[in-house]
Amino acid sequence: VAMAHLVAGLARCWCPSPLQVINFPVVQLHMSLMAMRASQKDFENAMNQVKLLKKDPGNEVKLKLYALYKQATEGPCNTPKPGVFDLISKAKWDTWSALGSLPKETARQNYVDLVSSLSSSSKSSGQVEPGADRKPPGYETLVVTSEDGITKIMLNRPTKKNAMNRQMYHEIMLALEAASKDDSRITVITGNGDYYSSGNDLTNFTDMASGKVEELAKNSAILLRNFVGCFIDFPKPLVAVVNGPAVGISVTTLGLFDAVYSTDRATFHTPFSHLGQSPEGCSSYTFPRIMSPSKATEMLIFGKKLTAREACAQGLVTEVFPDSTFQKEVWTRLKAYAKLPPNAMRISKEVIRNKEKEKLHAINAEECSVLQERWLSDECMNAVMNFLSRKAKL
Ligand SMILES: CCCCC/C=C/C(=O)SCCNC(=O)CCNC(=O)[C@H](O)C(C)(C)COP(=O)(O)OP(=O)(O)OC[C@H]1O[C@@H](n2cnc3c(N)ncnc32)[C@H](O)[C@@H]1OP(=O)(O)O
C-beta 172 within 6 A of ligand 1: no
Burial letters for 362-390: b for 16+ Cβ neighbours within 10 Å, e otherwise? ebbeebbeebbebbeeeebbebbbebeee
Q: Is residue 16 over pLDDT 80?
A: no
297 CB within 6 A, ligand 1: no
Q: Give the nearest ligand 1 atom to 202 CA.
A: 46
Q: Which atom of ligand 1 is nearest to the CA of 195?
A: 25
Per-residue model confidence as pLDDT tens digits over 280-334: 999 999 999 999 999 999 999 999 999 999 999 999 999 999 999 999 999 999 9
pLDDT at 348: 97
Residue 50 CB burial class (10 angstroms; 0-12, 13-18, ≥19): buried
Phi, psi dihedrals of residue 240, rounded to the nearest 5°? -100, 125
Least confident span in 15-19, 294-298, 351-355, 359-363? 15-19
Give which of 312, 252, 259 is closest to 282, Cα–Cα.
252
Q: Which atom of ligand 1 lies nearest, measured to the CA of 199?
A: 9
Which ligand 1 atom minimizes the distance to the CA of 248?
9
When pLDDT is cut at 50, 70 and 90, the band that residue 391 belongs to is: low
Give the closest residue (by CA) to ligand 1 atom 47: 201
Q: Is 203 a pocket residue for ligand 1 (Cβ < 6 Å)? A: yes
Q: Which residues pair with 232 in a beta bridge?
A: none
| pTM of the complete model | 0.71
Residues 139, 152: Cα–Cα separation, whole Å: 13
Ligand 1 centroid–CA 201 distance in Å is: 6
CB 252 within 8 A of CB 200: no
| 160 touches ligand 1 (CB under 6 Å) | yes
112: Cβ contacts below 8 Å, ≥ 6 apart: 42, 43, 45, 46
If you measure from the C-alpha of residue 29 to the centroid of ligand 1, how many angstroms do you get, rounded to a whole number?
A: 45
* Portion of the chain with pLDDT greater than 70, in percent: 82
The Å distance, Cα 49 to ligand 1 centre, comes to 35
- Choose from 65-79, 234-248, 369-383 the range with maximum mean pLDDT: 234-248
Considering only CA atoms, which residue is closest to atom 35 of ligand 1? 160
Sign of CA dihedral 126, 129, 130, 134: negative
Provide DSSP, 109-123: HHHHHHHHHHHHHS-
Percent of the chain with pLDDT over 90: 60
Paired strand residues for 312: none
CA distance 362 to 367: 9
Q: 122 pLDDT band (50/70/90 cuts)?
A: low
Distance, in Å, from the CA atom of 300 to the CA atom of 273, rounded to the nearest integer, reads 8
Count other Cβ atoms within 10 Å, centred on residue 23: 11
Q: Which of 110, 51, 100, 54 is nearest to 77 (CA)?
A: 100
- Our CA angle for 286, 292, 294, nearest 5°, is 105
CA distances from 343 to 178, 297, 335, 340 (A): 18, 37, 17, 9
Q: What's the half-sphere exposure (Cβ side, CA atoms, 13 Å) at 383?
A: 17
Mutate which of 141, 161, 164, 368 for ligand 1 pocket (most atoms within 8 A of beta carbon): 161
27 lines ligand 1 (CB under 6 A): no
pLDDT band (50, 70, 90) for residue 13: very low
> What is the predicted pLDDT for the residue at 137?
53
Q: pLDDT tens, 210-241?
A: 567 888 899 999 999 999 999 999 999 999 99
- Interface confidence: ipTM more than 0.85: yes
Most confident option among 73-82, 121-130, 162-171: 162-171
Instruction: Calculate how far, in angstroms, residue 250's C-alpha sits from the geometric centre of ligand 1.
Output: 12
Please tell me if the CB atom of residue 200 comes closer than 6 angstroms to any atom of ligand 1.
yes
Q: Is 152 helix (H, G, I), strand (E, B) or coil?
A: strand
Mean confidence (pLDDT) of the chain: 84
Mean per-residue pLDDT for 155-176?
A: 97
The winner for highest mean pLDDT among 54-58, 84-88, 118-122 is: 54-58
| Helix (H) or strand (E) segment spanning residue 213 | helix 213-233
Closest by Cα among 135, 133, 151 to 143: 151
Distance of alpha carbon 72 from alpha carbon 95, whole angstroms: 13
Beta strand 319-321 pairing with 150-155: unpaired
